[in-house]
Amino acid sequence: AQKITQTQPGMFVQEKEAVTLDCTYDTSDPSYGLFWYKQPSSGEMIFLIYQGSYDQQNATEGRYSLNFQKARKSANLVISASQLGDSAMYFCAMSSRGANNLFFGTGTRLTVIP
Amino acid sequence: DAGVIQSPRHEVTEMGQEVTLRCKPISGHNSLFWYRQTMMRGLELLIYFNNNVPIDDSGMPEDRFSAKMPNASFSTLKIQPSEPRDSAVYFCASSLGTLNTEAFFGQGTRLTVV
């Protein structure tokens, strides 16, 4: 069975600082993908970054990077140089080859402080 | 492409009434997902389709919920009869259906059952 855990219900970060949002996962499938989505107060779900289980390097997309530690089954999102517009809910999600669906964690609410 | 289109954006209905939510996925996508989001339960996967076929409906809460995908460009989620505890935001999402592709979300339907 798949499981995604986000243990931080809320996080605060000072503007221009970096912040790490935690995500751990569990699956018995050797092939899987990990995703991060952002949900601002307006409600839409915005895809941020993807990491495949066989990818050798950590994924990066602009100010977003994914700290992928396969042995620890963690896929933490790092946001560098935080901006006020980064304030939102952030969801970690997983898809596995066996299931090919997309399960989400409970989310972390990030607040960027001016 | 216009993205995933959901209708209606908002729905208010009385308890006991039938509610139908609609979704048009992105053209060419062969996986479609229905999610329900509430404060208490977060983002729950209700059902997903691959090539118009329901693959996993284990997340559908009760027999009052049903989903169909009669063709590649249209899906419905029906609740009959509706209850106040069904009040939530319902998201439809679609993807290319491969492990390394993200799901694109619609704007969601905010359902209120009074």
Which residue in A23, A100, A103 has the most chain B C-beta atoms within 10 A of its own C-beta, making it the best mutation to test that interface? A100
Cβ pair A54, A106 in contact under 8 A: no
The Cα A86–Cα B75 span in angstroms is 33
Nearest CA to A102 among B113, B52, B4, B55? B55
Cβ–Cβ gap B99/A103 under 8 Å: no
Query: A52 in contact with B at a CB cutoff of 8 Å?
Result: yes
* Tens digit of pLDDT at every position of chain A (114 positions): 778 999 999 999 999 999 999 999 999 888 899 999 999 999 999 999 999 999 989 999 999 999 999 999 999 999 999 999 999 999 999 988 766 678 899 999 999 999
Cβ pair A15, A40 in contact under 8 A: no
Nearest-10 Cα torsion for B70, B74, B80, B84: 160
Query: A70 in contact with B at a CB cutoff of 8 Å?
Result: no
| B 19-78 residues inside an 8 A Cβ radius of A | 31, 33, 35, 42-43, 45, 48, 50, 55-56
pLDDT value of position A98 = 62
User: Per residue in B41-100, pLDDT tens?
Assistant: 899 999 999 999 998 898 998 899 999 999 999 999 999 999 999 999 999 999 988 777
Element (H, E) at A46: strand A46-52
Cβ contacts of residue A79 below 8 Å, gap of 6+? Answer: A13, A18, A19, A20, A21, A63, A64, A86, A110
Query: Predicted confidence band at B2 (pLDDT cuts at 50, 70, 90)?
Result: confident
| Residue A99 DSSP SS3 | coil
Cβ contacts of residue A26 below 8 Å, gap of 6+? Answer: A1, A2, A3, A5, A73
